[in-house]
Structure 1
Amino acid sequence: FRDITERKRAEVYLKAMFDSIQTGVILVDPELHKIVEVNPTAMNMFGMPKENIVGSVCHQLICPAEVGKCPITDLGQTVDDSERVLLNAKGKRIPIIKTVVPLMLGGRRYLLENFIDITKRKQVEEELEKTLLWQQGVNLLQQSLLAPGPLENKLKIITDSIVRLFNADFCRIWLIRPGDLCGRGCIHAELKEGPHVCRYRDKCLHLLASSGRYTHIDGKGYRRVPFGCYKIGRVASGEEHKFLTNDVQNDPRVHNHEWARELELVSFAGYQLRIPGEETIGVLVLFAKHPVLPSEDGMLDGLSNAVAFIVQQAVAEDDLRRIKQRLEFILGVTKTGLDIVDSNFNIVYIDPEWQKVYGSPAGKKCYEYFMGRNEICPNCGIIKVLETKEPLVSEEILVKEGNRPIQVTTIPFQNEKGEWLVAEVNVDMTQRKKIEKTQRFAQLGNLVSSMAHEVNNPLMIISGRAQLSLMEGMQTEQMQEGLKTIIDQCDRAKGIIQRLLLFSKPSKGEMVITDINRGIEFIVQLLEHQYSLANVAISKKLTTPLPFVKIDEKQMQEVFVNLIKNAAEAMPNGGIINIETSHDEYAVRIDFTDTGCGMPEEVMKKIFDPFFTTKKEGTGLGLSVCYGIVKAHGGNLRYTSKIGKGTTATILLPIAKEGVKSGA
């Protein structure tokens, strides 16, 4: 009897302890898979009385599994603080943490299963995970918006992201801007009374981005919202920093309940876009079909401040972009180029108009890009200003643009990293050079005209006296020959003066169709006597008839004078300049060949480079100007040379379409 009493006492003690445990506990017969005992806490979790639980198959209520797949008895698993699921009377799945230990009672083996409800913990974990995902999404959004881009694009990215991250039904952004539709169809401006009358005509809210259910921004009701009207306008006006309701269908502060019910909306949130300490610049608004949680509200409130910074930055970028576009337009119209070069001659920036002419500057040095050179330009202004840190004004010739003259203002400056860069403002001087050239020719014309007057008078007297002496017939034969020579030379001098008068007249920029032989004859007559004094003879072999060419006669005369001058200077001890014309089906050819010393290959490569010269007093511009003139006529100028034998300059000019062969 004593053993029985002790056993009963143990059972009573065990049951009291079993019932007092605050976690769910069940006792399972592992052979039958049935629950044989359950404590009050477990009954509460199941939502059933004891009689409905005891005798039930365990895996129908806890750790749902198919018959024959019990994790412990069939699969041999150890369950120790493992996450499992409990089914209550309503079929709800409750997450639990369960531990199972074997237990011997009365010589039989049982399984004691102990479990706790972790629903709240799961909710906290899910809330934390959701918050982390929101935060990651918001951080990625903010980072993506730091890159330069149009304001409207950035605002659309923001509304798209908010709809996605916060599962909003739709999201919109309005910015405060001057009223622009007050007299052009804005329904709010037409109202005369009521709470939504537009009271501020100088400013209103402009809808600039919309995502989710509504993506349009041109609806008459909301494309403009009056400042201080509706919840949106009140938030913007500063009467409320933000507005949040999770009962949008009934909240008396929301004016259109029927619309909210129709769309099954639950929440509405609006936030000022304002940088702390500065004025409000707009409003961010969202509607959702679920309540906005406090954590979401806090995150959206913080995001609105970040959006304000981004909007301000984007507005500044847009303003800068517009200024840049206007500047580049002005540069293009005035043919003024702007480029920025670093200390290694790399092009950092070049305006678009120049890129149309020169192409992309990627990977090119400035001297390669602009001048087509393989080395730094002689007298490079960039080197000078980087040394002196003072601006420099110089003149350059752009070979790739037909030797277009420009004035270059080179300005050194430091960027935000302290690196020295150079800005070059390149002003077109074509018109200025034309005016200067016209003025020089006018001055030369005046000088030649004055000289002609001064020289012609004595020549007339000398020639007249000689003719009178001849008429008197009193001289010897030798004296008569001398008088005839005087008369001939006076006539020749008068002819030279007439040609000088013609040559000194400025070009009118007119293109005429002519025989090139005439221009060559004119220049040879002008120069041959001058060069004969230096023992340089000019020989002509002109093909006739020759097709006509279309040229600016004055410019082409300038080319001929330069080429003959260069040929003569290549023969300091005298020689012959042979001028020959010919033609083929497409072009007229003029060859100027000297009998000088010739040019080495390294000089030949640079003869058309501006400022390259082998002469002590040379400017290095003569041939580059000649090249530009010929190219402007649609032709070509090229050189061939042999050391010790001489050099040939060849001009090719296209035959005029209107031209015919002439023996003039």
Structure 2
Amino acid sequence: MYLYSPWECVQMGRPLIDFVEYSHEELMGMLLEQQGMTFKFKKIEGRFIHTFCAGQLLAKIGLTPQEVVGSQLKDFLHEDYAAEKEAYYNEAWQGKEDVSYEGELLGVTYVASLRPIRREGEVVEVIASCVDITERRKSERELRETKELLESLYESSVDGICIMDTEGKVIRINHAFEKIYGWSEAELIGKKAPMFPAHLEKRMEEICWHLQSVKKGIHLETVRSRKDGETIHVFMTLAPIRDADDHIIALTGITRDISERKKMEDFYRKADKLNAVGQLAAGLAHEIRNPLTSLRGFLQIMQSGRVDKGEYYDIMLSEIDRINSIVNEFLLIAKPSQSKFQKNDLVRILHGVVTLLETQAALNNIKIVTEIEDAFPLVECSDMEIKQVFVNILKNAIEAMPGGGIVTICACVKKEMARIRFVDQGVGIGENQFARLGEPFFTTKEKGTGLGLMMCYKIIGDHKGEININSAVQVGTTFEIMLPLSSSVSPEA
């Protein structure tokens, strides 16, 4: 039978019974197609009997309307499970509004909401709607597990973690942070984080802007003070915490105490310097002995009065200047110094190193040739550290050529970088040794320590430069040092 819509009934003057039938059919269709489930029950002779049940959730939990309608809970559910749910049925039948409970059948989690239907003030039936919340519970469980995992990582991390607002005030810290700096969480909440150097504390707005625009964290190596006044070296990473709209709502600072690493680096640096000084001493003694012998001879001749003294003055002064130059270069290498970055003339440093080592080279039948580009620019660097690098690499080149040859030192500018190349004609380095170059105590020399090249990598890395090595066995090795011309080295705070 065709069912007319309410509008058609009004237009055609048909009885409203057609409208009622239309509405009933439409409602039943909606209930059958709903994602959840709707059911009703009455209390008959002390038993809760289901009078209606429809919805796609019904099939998901393994039931049919025929099994539910006209039956009690215990007729189609396990007795204990049915008794648990029947308690909620009873609450709703007693007139309690908004009774709800969760259930799970065949891996499907659902929530049921019961509401009493009253007639003349008395409850005559209870209607219930059920919603499938399986995916929501799965998401909540995964979220909870993720949170627990992150919480575990947060608390067990050996690095200090500090969460702060965009003004740099502490929201939360972990145990490692307390251990590194000495302050407890209670002492720091709401206060400025002690991890920031003074020059950054008042630049939080600028820092947030940088993090928002660059989308990368900030890395900083600095020196900070603990609560007890002890100074520590730390490596800090500052990263943003964003909301759903990608706006920065907080910051996280991760601190690693690198004091022990700094001590070891200082130890290696000093050990390498002592090793270099010891090896240079023998060559310097020979170099200084030659002009001293000449001076002694000239003085003996002058003392005898057999010649005009004046003709030897220039020669003697030249020999004395030679000794003074060698001793000065030796002292610059040997004495302790603080790293200080400033504009330096790499050509001057190179010539000083060549002066220092040319005697050792000559004793090994090695010639040092320099090829330097005109108008070579100044480079921001540590004079002493770069000198140490040049000495180590030139010494390696000389020692790699027991049969003599030529060491060529080239200096030029390429792509805003100062490029210094040391090219020898030595024994070369095998491919199987390349991967370990720069490791402490790994060396290709019989009496080497391996500290020299390791410190070269460390120093050039601190200067934001790089070292490239090319070598072929029995052909030679090229060490290329690249240093930035622009000021990209940030001094420690």
TM-score after normalising by structure 2: 0.45
Greater relative contact order: 1 or 2 (C-alpha under 8 angstroms, separation 6 or more)?
A: 2
